[in-house]
Amino acid sequence: MEYIIEPERKVPVVAEVDLLVCGGGVAGIAAAISAAKVGVQVMLLEKYGFLGGLCTGSLVITVPPLDNGINIELAFRLKAKGAYVPCRRSGSEVAYLEMHGIDPEIAKYEFMKWLQEQKVNLLLHSYITDVLLEGKVIKGVVTHSKAGRQAILARLVVDATGDADIAALAGAPCRETRKPMTMMFNMVGVDISKVMESFGNWSGIKKVVKEGIEKGELDFTLGILPEFGSPGVYAEDLPGEGEINVWSGNLLGLSGLDPWDLTKAEIITREHVYKLANFLKRKVPGFEKSRIELTSTQVGVRATRNIIGTASPTLEEATSKKFADTVVKAFNKPDWQLSELRLPYGCLLPQNIENLLVAGRCISAAEQAMGLLRLIPICLLTGQAAGAAAALALKQEATPRTLDVSELQKILEKQGMHLGLK
């Protein structure tokens, strides 16, 4: 490979903040709001022109219950606009998750308003390209945008990029992985009652697609069966009448960190979206008047990097253990399969960097656990915990590694997170 040497240049410092949250997906949103509520100055950076990350951008809008911590507030905001409703026709692939459908456009709006209400300083259309590192301390980041290269300095940073970009740029140990990619899409004009006469529930879509492939009626090469938490080819109801959210199948073997692989994934998965939608319209009663309403802004990438933090629980530990330093309890519903799902503070703490916390799907946990821990409600709550921890560290003039976790737990309980430790 050939290389070039860039000439030395001055990069303007456009902001200096207490806390910099990198990434405007659900984890970053929750981190910024949680920290702002504790009373620190927060800035959030996002590469797109909207907030929500994979939720709104990749249409991951059918989610388990939002019933603990900051999730309760989000559910209340969405319910008030008819944008969060239970899914009534779930198949066996996801029935245990008790899914709810979200309206992505209302979510984009509510995310923006929520941050504005908490006076979070927001900068969109900015891609983070580097970190400013002094020893084991991140002094800030370098961004690239239409304005060119700019620097933002910060006392403390939350990495909510989903890919552990900040941790990796700073040299924190990470594990890379490849998991199925899926392009989600929404359809409207579906006569769902008529579809259910033949399907029974949304698991029926898989059987029809399988038969279509076997009969040569559908040229389809993506995986249609469940893998790493993906249901394969599947669908769920959304809040709008006759509106559904569709999983277009699993694309395997590509890296979400390689732009060439991502380009290939976008092309392949988008092609399969149209193949699948047209097949359903031709072959399934109830889809005759349907059309594609919306495809995801980018292909849904389930996993890229995870930090190797100071704790890395297995799935069994996460779903059964009461950690002394618990900072996340995913759900508040009693006597439920996932009611005891908890995460320790060490999941958010990367090694070797003193002023960095990590939230979202790139936290530290055993690989087999991440199929569950990457779900939207859990990403939100790891964001809440990371934001509160960052704010507490700033208030105590401590590092995230040395703060008083019992004080952090009190803040989280005050913010509505029932940790269930007593």
Mean pLDDT, residues 163-192? 97
CA atoms of 392 and 39, how far apart (whole Å): 9
Residue 5 lies in a domain: no
The dihedral formed by the CA atoms of 234, 237, 238 and 241, expressed in degrees to the nearest 10: 130
How confident is the model at residue 146, as a pLDDT? 97
The answer to whether the CB of 69 falls within 8 A of the CB of 29 is no
Last residue of a domain, one of 243, 271, 301: 301
Banded pLDDT at 179 (limits 50, 70, 90): very high
- What's the DSSP call for residue 347? G
Do 157 and 38 fall within a single domain? yes
How confident is the model at residue 229, as a pLDDT? 79
Do 242 and 278 fall within a single domain? yes
Residue 257 lies in a domain: yes
* Per-state percent for the chain, helix, strand, coil, to nearest 5: 35, 25, 45
How confident is the model at residue 139, as a pLDDT? 98
The answer to whether the CB of 310 falls within 8 A of the CB of 346 is yes
Closest to 64 (Cα-Cα) out of 229, 176, 250, 184: 229
Do 290 and 317 fall within a single domain? no
Element (H, E) at 105: helix 104-117
How confident is the model at residue 248, as a pLDDT? 97
Confidence (pTM): 0.97
Element (H, E) at 54: helix 54-57
CA dihedral over 112, 116, 120, 126, signed as positive or negative: positive
Residue 422 lies in a domain: no
How confident is the model at residue 263, as a pLDDT? 98
Closest to 292 (Cα-Cα) out of 282, 304, 278, 305: 278
Residue 10 lies in a domain: no
Do 114 and 193 fall within a single domain? no
CA atoms of 51 and 24, how far apart (whole Å): 5
Residue whose entry in the numeric block shows the structure tokens 């939100």: 380
**pLDDT tens digit sequence for 65-112:** 999 999 999 999 999 999 999 999 999 989 999 999 999 999 999 999
Residue 29 pLDDT > 90: yes
By the 10 Å C-beta count (0-12 exposed, 13-18 middle, 19+ buried), 291 is classed as exposed
Do 203 and 337 fall within a single domain? no
Do 201 and 278 fall within a single domain? yes
Beta strands in 238-382 (DSSP E): 244-248, 291-295, 300-301, 305-307, 326-329, 342-344, 356-358
The answer to whether the CB of 223 falls within 8 A of the CB of 232 is yes
Do 59 and 172 fall within a single domain? yes
Residue 4 lies in a domain: no
Residue 164 lies in a domain: yes
How confident is the model at residue 422, as a pLDDT? 78
Do 210 and 353 fall within a single domain? no
Last residue of a domain, one of 301, 335, 351: 301
Please count the structural domains in the chain.
Answer: 2
CA atoms of 176 and 255, how far apart (whole Å): 9
3-state DSSP call for residue 410?
Answer: helix
Look at strands 121-123 and 42-45 and give their pairing.
Answer: parallel
Do 249 and 144 fall within a single domain? no
Mean pLDDT, residues 341-363? 98
**Containing domain of residue 170, as a range?**
15-177+304-414
Look at strands 148-159 and 184-188 and give their pairing.
Answer: unpaired
Last residue of a domain, one of 301, 325, 353: 301
**pLDDT tens digit sequence for 290-313:** 999 999 999 999 999 999 999 999
Residue 3 lies in a domain: no
Residue 388 sits in a domain of what CATH number? 3.50.50.60
How confident is the model at residue 334, as a pLDDT? 86
Do 270 and 313 fall within a single domain? no
**pLDDT tens digit sequence for 218-265:** 999 999 999 877 899 999 999 999 999 999 999 999 999 999 999 999
Please give the C-alpha separations between residue 173 and each of 20, 83, 108, 350, in angstroms, as whole numbers: 21, 39, 33, 7
Do 250 and 319 fall within a single domain? no
CA atoms of 57 and 8, how far apart (whole Å): 36
Mean pLDDT, residues 21-29? 98
How confident is the model at residue 228, as a pLDDT? 78
Residue 353 lies in a domain: yes
Do 308 and 297 fall within a single domain? no
CA atoms of 191 and 243, how far apart (whole Å): 9
3-state DSSP call for residue 50?
Answer: coil
